Chain A
Amino acid sequence: MRDAPSPGYRETSALSLTPASKRELRGWSGLAVAALALAGVLALLLALSRTPKIQDFLPWPVQEFFYRALVTHVVFSFVVWFLGVLGALMVLTTARLAMGQTRARRLGTVGLGAGALGCLILLAPALLNWGEPSLNNYVPVVIHPVFYAGLVLLALGVGMVAVRLILNLPGREVGPVDWGIAAAAAAYLVALVCFGLALIAIPSGTGEALFNERLFWGGGHVLQFVNTALMLVGWSVLAEITLGEMPLGPWLSAAVAGSLVLFVLPAPVFYALFDVLSREHRDAFTQMLWYGLAPQPVVMMAGLARLLYQRRTALPWRDPAFVGLVLSVGLFAVGGLFGFFLGVADTRTPSHYHAVIGGVNLAAMALYFALLLPLLGRSSRRAGPIRWQFHLYGFGQLLFSVGMFLAGEAGVPRKTAGAEQGLDTIGKVVSMAMTGTGGIIAVMGGVMFVWMALSRLMARR
C-alpha cells in the first residue's frame, strides 16, 4: 500500500498499458458504448412501435415486439453497459498491477471474445421474434435458450477478466483505486455464484415469472455492490484528476472497498438458510442492500465534501470531468434520500433507482472522457459539448426522478405507458409532465454521450 502516488492515476496507468492490454481496454470500452447505442436504437423502435400509422410499417407484430425489445433495451442499457465499463476498468487495473508481467494473460482475450459474442446473441430473440418476454427485476429476459446463452457467455466473459485481475493481485503493489476495482471484481464473482446457486435451488415446475425473478434476485442485488464500487472508484479518480487529490486516504479507501466485499459474502449462504422461493429469501437480500450499501457512499461523500470545502475558492467548474463528478454525487445523494421513502411497488421505487443509477452512469460517462479515452489516445480538447452532455443528462435524470417520486405519492403504476395510467388529478399530470420532460432531456444527454464517445473510439488516427 502506498500513499497518494505523485504522478496521477491516469499517468501511471498509461505507463503500464501494453499493446495487448490497450486492445482489451478498447474492446470493453467500445462494447459498453455500443451497448448504449443499441439500447438507444431499440428505444427508438419501441417509440415507433407505439406510434399509430408508423407501427404498420414495422416488419414485426407490434405487441409482441414491444416487450421483447423492451427487455433487450433494459439489458443493454443497464447490464451490458455496466459490465462493459467494469471489464474496461478491470483490464486497466490488471495492466497497472502487472506492469507487462500479466499472469493468465489469455483469459483477457478469451473473456472479451465471449462477452462480445454473448452480446450479439442477446439481440437475436428480439429481432427474430423468439420466446416470451419477462420483465422480472434486475435482469429481465426473453425466455428462450439463445437469450440465456447470450447472458451466460457475457457473464463468463466478464468473469474471466475478474478472475485474471484477482490472480494478478498477490505480490503486486496495490493502490487505493486498484483495491476498489478488485472489490468490484470479487463482488461480481460472488454475484455469479449466486446466479448459479439460484439455478440449482429453484425447484423444477416453478412458474416462469417466479423462476426468472428468483434466478436474478440474489445476484442482481450483489451486482448493485459492483456498480457502487465502480462509482466510488470513479469519484476518487475524477477527484484526483480534477482537484489533484483523492477524497479519502489510501487506508480508508481500502477499508471502504473491503467493506463492499464483506457485505456480499453472506449472499451465497442465504441460499442455504432460506427457501429460495420464500419471502425470507427475498427480504434477506433487500436488507443486505439496505444496510450494507449505505456506509460506503456516505463516507466517500463526506471525504468529497471536505475536499470541495478546502478548494472552494478554486473549483474547476469549466472542467467537464469536475462537472460530471459533482452531478454524479448530487444525483446519487438525491436517490439515496428517496431510498428512505421507498414504497413496495409504486412509482417512488423507480424514482430511487433511476436517480441512483443516474449517479453511477454519470461517474462512468465522466470516466470515459477523463480516463479511458485519453488512455486510448482519443481525448478531445473541446470541453464545451462534454460539459453540456453532463448537464443535460444530470439535470434531466434529476427532473425525471423527482417527477416520479411525486407521481409515486399519487400512486401512478410503473412500467406502463399511455392510457393505462389513468391520469385523473392535476398533481399526477404535473408530475408525469416533469418525468416526461426530464426523460427527454436525459435521453438527449445520453445520445450526445454515445455519439461523442463512439465517434472518438472509432475515429481513424
Chain B
Amino acid sequence: MASFLDRLAAVVFASAALALFAAMPIWHRVAESPEAESRQTISARDFSTLVEAMTKAHATGEAEGGVPIVHPPAGDVYVIARRFEFTPILQLDVGRTYRLHIASTDVVHGFNFPLGKAETLLVPGWATTVTVTPTHPGLYAMQCSEYCGLSHSRMKARVRVMP
C-alpha cells in the first residue's frame, strides 16, 4: 500500500515536473515585458554634449552626492550611465510627459527604472529611450542591474517627482 502510494506520488510529481518543463517557452513569454524602450545609435561624445546642454540650461543649482540636479521641461531629457553613477539627477513634474534618453559612456550597465517600466542593458554606443509620465510625487529609484565593477551596488539614483 505504502509502496503503491509512493509510486503514484512519483508518477504525479514527474508528470507535473515535465509539464512545468515543457512550459519553459511560456515562462519566457510571460517574463518578457512588452518592449517599452526603443534604441538608437549615438556616440558617447554626442550624447555627452546633449546632457551638458540640458544640465547647463536647467540646473537647479542643487546636487546630491556631487551629482547635479536638473529640472528640465517636458519633452526630451538625457541621463548618462557611467561607473558608478547616473548623471544628472532628474527633477520631474507630475502630469508632464518626458522622453528619457539614457546611454552608457563607458562599459555595459543595466538600467532598472520601475517608474518608466524599464529593465534593459545599456550597451555603449546605443541610447535607450523610455517615455515617462509621473502621476504621483516622490522619490523614484533608478539603478544599475548589471555588474559593472566593485562599486556597482552603489550605482543608483533617485529621480525626484514634484507635485
Chain A residues in contact with chain B, CB under 8 A? 3, 67, 133-137, 207, 209-210, 212-213, 248-252, 254-256, 258-259, 262-263, 266, 277-279, 282-284, 287-288, 290-292, 295, 299, 344-345, 411, 413-416, 420
Cα distance, A248 to B2, chains bound together (Å): 11
| Interface positions of B from 144 to 163, Cβ below 8 Å from A | 144-154, 156
Report if B53 contacts A (CB, 8 A): no
Inter-subunit contact A134/B150 (CB<8 Å): yes
User: Quick one: which of A133, A250, A290, A345 contacts B145, CB cutoff 8 A?
Assistant: A345
Cα distance, A299 to B153, chains bound together (Å): 35
Chain B 1-28, CB within 8 Å of chain A: the 1/0 string? 0110111011101101110110010011
Q: Which of A135, A252, A283, A284 has the most CB of B within 10 A?
A: A252
Inter-subunit contact A295/B27 (CB<8 Å): no
User: Quick one: which of A3, A67, A345 contacts B150, CB cutoff 8 A?
Assistant: A67
Inter-subunit contact B7/A345 (CB<8 Å): no
Q: Which of A137, A210, A258 has the most CB of B within 10 A?
A: A210
Cα distance, A279 to B148, chains bound together (Å): 14
| Interface positions of B from 91 to 114, Cβ below 8 Å from A | 107-108, 112
Inter-subunit contact A252/B17 (CB<8 Å): no
Cα distance, A250 to B5, chains bound together (Å): 11
Inter-subunit contact B147/A137 (CB<8 Å): yes
Cα distance, A251 to B28, chains bound together (Å): 31
CB distance from B145 to the nearest CB of A (A): 5
Inter-subunit contact A266/B2 (CB<8 Å): no
Inter-subunit contact A213/B147 (CB<8 Å): yes
Inter-subunit contact A136/B154 (CB<8 Å): no
User: Quick one: which of B6, B32, B120, B150 contacts A251, CB cutoff 8 A?
Assistant: B6
> DSSP majority for the B interface?
helix
CB distance from A164 to the nearest CB of B (A): 27
Inter-subunit contact B7/A251 (CB<8 Å): yes
Give how many A-B residue pairs fall within 8 Å (CB-CB). 110
Interface magnitude class on chain B: 35 or more
Residues in A with CB closer than 8 Å to B55 are none
A262 in contact with B13 given A134-B150, A344-B112, A413-B153 (CB within 8 Å):
no
Cα distance, A250 to B17, chains bound together (Å): 17
Inter-subunit contact A255/B18 (CB<8 Å): no
User: Quick one: which of B3, B27, B143, B146 contacts A291, CB cutoff 8 A?
Assistant: B27
The residue on B at minimum CB distance from A133 is B150
User: Quick one: which of B16, B24, B141, B148 contacts A295, CB cutoff 8 A?
Assistant: B16
Residues in A with CB closer than 8 Å to B119 are 279, 344
Inter-subunit contact B20/A136 (CB<8 Å): no
14 CB contacts below 8 A, A to B, read A135-B150, A136-B147, A207-B107, A248-B6, A249-B5, A249-B10, A259-B13, A263-B21, A277-B121, A279-B119, A291-B27, A344-B112, A344-B145, A345-B156
A210 in contact with B108 given A259-B17, A262-B18 (CB within 8 Å):
yes
Residues in B with CB closer than 8 Å to A287 are 24, 27-28, 31
